Amino acid sequence: MMATARWLRRLGAFSPSDWLLRLIYVGLGAWAVGIALAGYQLDSWRQELSRTLLQLNADAQFRARVHNRDAVDPEWYRRKALSLLAATERLQHDALWTAFIPGSWHSVDNIEEQVQARLEREFSDIVVETMRRELYAKAAKLTGVPLARGPGDLQMGAECQSPVPQNLDRKLTAAAEDLPEFVAVTDYVAGVERLDAAAQSFLSLQSGRGDATQLRKLVAFTLGKDLPGALAGAVRMFPGSDEVNIQPALMQSRLQWATRCALLKGMNALHTRLLNTNDLFALEQGYVERSNGLFDASARPAAFDRTLERYRAVHALLDDQDAMLAKGRNDWMGQGTLKLGPAYQDVLRKVERTQLLGPEVVQQLQNQSGTAFLEFRRQFEQAFGSQGEPGIVWIEGEKRFGLSAERAGLRAGLGALLHTSFMTEDASRSADKAAHDNVTLTKVMQEARTLADERTRAIEEVVPQFPEHAQPVVTRVIDARISELIYQRAFRTLKAGLPVDPKAPLDSVGFRQQREQVMALQTVLKETGGSALGDRLVATLDGELLRRLGTIQEDWKLQPLQDARLTDFAWWHGEPLPLAQAVGAAEAGSAAAPSFARTATHLDLLVQQAKALLALGSPGLSSDPAVVRWLRMQGELDRYANHAPDSSLLRLERYLAALGPDLRRENCSERLAANAPSGTVDDEIARRHLQLHNALANRCNELRAAQAGALMGPMPQ
């Protein structure tokens, strides 16, 4: 406090002249400081101005050497535009420092006006024109409309392109927003919104009503650069000049035409996908084609592989339909007008408030979709509401469409049926594998019983899930499949256990055991509706016996009585014929009466072999012609042994004795006519007897005719 008082007393001691002198010193000091600071700022501004002007001159000379702007890489113009924008901001300086240098006053030096004029000329040609072209380039990339060479505008009247979906995978859905076409349209509208904001900023800056914020957004959109600073100088330079004549209405018109054209095509693709080629219709068409006649009881049963393929296809289609409808958002399909949900309406609102698109485009889109929706409703009613129980019904509690009760039952039934073990390809492969793994019939019998039990469960639990009209057909398919699997496994196992060579010894004990097992399998097959297949299994064993009977028959054919030479006597020329010797009823040179005792002995051995095989056969085997033949041979042997008058061998012996050992051309007709066979021809010996007589008679007639011709001599000329 005391120090302050002393300072005030010293200050009051100065005179007025002292005060004036001190003020002059202070002013001169401030002036000197201002000149120093102004000189520093002027030097920095001069250096920046020099660099900018030199670069502008170099760029101007480069452009002057290029007759066409299209010959220059657009990236060059982008770099120059960004550089000029930055330089324009740097050349803006605080004019207060010019007060300390009279030579820099506006009345003395107008260099700033000259610099401003030069920058404005370059700004229009470099910055404004580059941004204009970039706007058109962005629009061309967005809409697919090509650019015109020279001015870089959009080619009016050229073909635009629909927005391309990024993900082309088809997704089963009834909601518009899940479709790739909708995503493409959504992205496109967002792109048009950004283009629209940039175009409006450009036009606003051109008209002189723009601000720095609009310029900053425009630069970011067209040149991809965020510029710092106030950008006031650049905003002032932006309005059009005589060198660059841009018609705002023309730009707006061209951008509107291109963006609207592409939007209409994109929405048309969306409406086509959703309404004209609707996934629900495609699934329904596939279902109708695949299920046609599949559950018709009057239709001819198809092969199991084909039936299984169609079952799987129908089930997959029903699964797809159910999954698609279960997602919901399909209530629009039953409405009177097209309302595709909040996301779709949001897109329309964005279109409406975007100046390049606008409300008139929304109205055009509504007219376009309205016509397609009317056709959709007609097809929907035709597919799901025409006749019988509809496949698709409205579920009020969930506010969506879903599968009808009948179709849901069909889907559930097929799903349960296809999960059974016998409805797979593996079941068939296991039947093939059984033969290679030496599976016994006992094992096959166990598997057959397991399959029969599974069939019973399927009939009781799975079949009732199907619609009533389909249950008989499904039951028939199950029975046929189970029976076929049992038969295949049993047949392959049975065939694998039988000897390959029919002449190999047959294990009668093992064969009887196989017979018993086959009879048990036949019973199971009757339970599963495969009676015919059970009979075929029995016939398989009988077939093995018949194959062995065939080898016995081949042995019988080796006997002299079966010699093929006795069916055609073309080799006999009329000399004495030892017929008894030829048929094995006499020895060479023997004068004894013909006898088939040796033949009967061998035949009896063959009959005993046949009897052993027949004892292993089924009751149905007795009606087979080969079995009947051997049974009759056995009866003939009994008659021959008992010298029964109706024995065919005895009649053949008497026949040979009557013909005698000296049968020749001269007496053959009389002897053959006198001893013609009589009686029934009901066994193989009797048929052979008749065959032998007829062959001899034919040859005898030929020989007699030839002899008569020789006696008559040649015909006179």
Q: Choose among 264, 443, 270: nearest CA to 363.
A: 264
Q: Strand 400-403 to strand 392-395: parallel, antiparallel, or no bridges (unpaired)?
A: antiparallel
pTM of the model: 0.67
DSSP state of 663: B
Is 189 part of a structural domain of the chain? no
Q: Could you tell me if 59 and 205 lie in one domain?
A: yes
Which of 510, 531, 549 terminates a domain? The answer is: 549
Which of 517, 533, 549 terminates a domain? The answer is: 549
Does residue 358 contact residue 370 with C-beta atoms inside 8 Å?
A: no
Environment class of 689 (CB within 10 Å of its CB; exposed 0-12, middle 13-18, buried 19+): buried
Does residue 358 contact residue 325 with C-beta atoms inside 8 Å?
A: no
DSSP state of 241: -
Is 249 part of a structural domain of the chain? no
Is 399 part of a structural domain of the chain? no
What residue ranges in 364-437 does DSSP mark as E strands?
A: 392-395, 400-403
pLDDT band per the 50, 70, 90 thresholds, residue 96: very low
Does residue 475 contact residue 513 with C-beta atoms inside 8 Å?
A: no
Domains: count for the chain: 3
Q: Could you tell me if 67 and 36 lie in one domain?
A: yes
Q: Choose among 493, 515, 500: nearest CA to 438.
A: 493
Q: pLDDT tens for residues 217-249?
A: 877 887 777 776 666 666 666 675 544 444 677
Does residue 430 contact residue 489 with C-beta atoms inside 8 Å?
A: yes
Q: Could you tell me if 233 and 101 lie in one domain?
A: yes
Q: Could you tell me if 72 and 213 lie in one domain?
A: yes
Q: Which domain holds residue 657?
A: 557-709
Q: pLDDT tens for residues 529-538?
A: 989 999 998 9
Q: Could you tell me if 442 and 501 lie in one domain?
A: yes
Report the mean per-residue pLDDT for the chain.
Answer: 79
Which of 493, 525, 549 terminates a domain? The answer is: 549
Q: Could you tell me if 534 and 632 lie in one domain?
A: no
Q: pLDDT tens for residues 354-412?
A: 888 999 988 888 888 887 888 888 888 877 765 556 788 888 888 888 888 888 999 99
pLDDT band per the 50, 70, 90 thresholds, residue 212: confident
